[in-house]
Amino acid sequence: MPKGGARPGAGRPPKDGEVRKMRGLRATDEEWELIQRFEKILKYGDKDACKKFVAEHE
């Protein structure tokens, strides 16, 4: 009888073929709101515009 756990090939494959790793950081509530807004643009919007913005503000 199987004991459970991870199985090769189990689970839904990533949509775009890339694996997104989990990350963690400390932020205030105000900073976290900005991080979440930027993340939505990066993930679902214009990645090139995000790269340009970061390059201009570093």
Q: Which amino acid is at 55?
A: A
0.85 exceeded by the pTM? no
User: Residue 1 pLDDT > 70, yes or no?
Assistant: no
Query: Residue 5 has what pLDDT?
Result: 77
Q: Which amino acid is at 56?
A: E
Determine contact, residues 35/27, Cβ cutoff 8 Å.
yes
Tell me what the mean pLDDT of segment 39-48 comes to: 91
User: Residue 17 pLDDT > 90, yes or no?
Assistant: no
Determine contact, residues 38/50, Cβ cutoff 8 Å.
yes
What is the rounded average pLDDT for all residues in the chain? 87
Query: Residue 10 has what pLDDT?
Result: 83
**CA–CA separation, 21 and 35 (whole Å):** 16
